[in-house]
Amino acid sequence: MFQERYQFWLNDPYFDEVTRSEVASLSDLKEIEDRFYTDLEFGTGGLRGILGAGTNRMNIYVIRKATQGLADLILEGGEESKNRGVVIAYDSRCLSDRFAQEAALILAGNGIKAYLFNGLRPTPELSFAVRHLHAQAGIVITASHNPKEYNGYKVYWEDGGQVPPDRADQILHCIKVHEHWNDIHPLPEKEARKRGLLIDLGEEMDSAYLKRVKELALYPDLAQEKGSKLSIVYTPLHGAGNMLVRRILTEMGYSVFTVPEQENPDSEFPTVPYPNPEISSTFDLARKYGKAQDAQLLIATDPDADRLGMVIRTPSGDYQQLTGNQIGILLTYYLITQKRRLGILPKNAVIIKTIASTDLADLMVKDLGVQIENVLTGFKFIAEKEQEMEDLGIGDFQFGFEESYGYLAGHFVRDKDAVIASLLLCEAALYYQETEGRSLLEILEEIYRRYGYFVDDQISMTLHGKEGKEKMKRMMTTLRETTVDSFGGLLIERIDDYELRKGKRIISPQENYLLSLPQSNVIRYSFQGGGFVMARPSGTEPKIKFYFNIRDANPLELQNTLERVKTDLLKLVAD
């Protein structure tokens, strides 16, 4: 089958000369098979893959087909859905602007209005714009924090959140209806503009979005009066965050220095291995400038500015990077305690986090008298839960986070938002520094002393191609079929299999129970006393991830315990 697809892309005049030349240059049969044996998988709300020609790569033809599938679903809603239209944003990656324009013109060719940002913008602003314009859907061209060889395509629905699994399945069905590639054509740009089907977005939307972000500040006067006392080094990592993150912080009163080598958009990301604020080396340049300027905080956003990483200066003058869980804990604690202090914490306040995020949050939030909800991994589930609470009139969302550096506050965005997180983190640091004479690290230590010390880590295995998918499947089968009662000497209390939607408590009193969350290929082992190990294959990347969250009363033993747990798990899944 892949040979037929290969020949079609090689010879059909629908594909441009550059694409056919790339296909013609392929000589390795294994690579040809990998490029054409399947369609790039539409999972967890979109596409993500390596740039290149082929059905299993990211290119304008895959973009066209995916967008036609989305268009078909929108057309089912009739004239109203067509007129509400689709908002499109893109980041600094290779071909992002071209892919965004192709998507817009495919929509226009179906008579669907397309709102296209006039330059790269953060993903959360796209979410805001969908809600602000009451659009039917949204598209973001981004591969988030992946290496430069990747690009991606994420779909949002009318609530501003990424499409949930059932909606994604509907889009996938529409995509699969189009068996042929050469019957999907974009409308010429001039014609699209003439018919009012292609509309530019710019400063007006930026201002509307930032106005709402500023309203989330708890102490705006403090920032105006003393914000310059908090020295901040910021790096957008060659991505979309520079304009809005720097603008919001500066306008609020903070002193911000932007890393010059990483300030401007660059699809090659030449100064980092890959643009992920989770990775320590991403902050190398920021650390250099931080030491030169004696900065208290170093912050970084990924290429589409939905994730935020932070490094804090220690008393010795070195810099310590915080994990996504630690940032989430600090922001959760700050928002709950300070809103209560100001008398603005609702009685039905709710914090939402994912099942991959630290158990420390559950202990802390419940102790602070606030409800906490756990959802599946992926920020769309946090946004979906927020929307559900809003629709039903139960609970008042205050904050959501996931361990992979995603955070959200407020009701006007339905995705993780590094612009919001930047503002709130800087405000928290300034508040504790100026009113209590303490740093965020000291606040974190206080939380650990009160609720227990936790350490978290992750192993991400990249397994390319058909063989990689089969290996991931074998790993998950092994976990499901093997009886385990401990990892690294830590006793397991319960095992939850979200694929089967069943859980079992394996210590006395033993019991089986049903899981209420939607089906997902995830297995989670919860330890007695808190902490967990979790296995989850990615829906958009050739990866399987293992999450570790370990608790110990003795912080000096945490790392040793973590290593023992990791060793036991890897032995179990080894071929």
DSSP of 410-432: SSS--S--HHHHHHHHHHHHHHI
DSSP of 460-507: EEE--HHHHHHHHHHHHHHHHHS--SEETTEEEEEEEETTTTEEEE-S
- CA 552 → CA 111, 321, 526, 530, distances in Å? 59, 21, 14, 9
Q: What CA–CA distance (Å, rounded) separates 7 from 4?
A: 5
Indicate the burial class of 207 (C-beta count within 10 angstroms; 0-12, 13-18, 19 or more): exposed
Q: What CA–CA distance (Å, rounded) separates 132 from 427?
A: 26
Strand partners, 50: 150
Identify whether 260 is preceded by a cis peptide bond (ω within 30 of 0): no
Nearest to 517 by CA among 298, 407, 354: 354
Q: Tell me which H or E stretch contains 433.
A: none
DSSP 557: G
Those residues with Cβ within 8 angstroms of residue 445's Cβ, 6 or more apart along the chain or in another chain: none
Nearest to 379 by CA among 18, 20, 44, 79: 44
Those residues with Cβ within 8 angstroms of residue 394's Cβ, 6 or more apart along the chain or in another chain: 348
Q: Which two tokens stand for residue 533?
A: 């190990």
Catalytic pick among 96, 127, 144, 526: 144
- Residue pair 539/469 in contact (Cβ under 8 Å)? The answer is no
Please identify which residue in the block is written with the tokens 């978290």: 456
Give yes or no: 144 in active site. yes
Query: What residues are annotated to the active site?
Result: 144
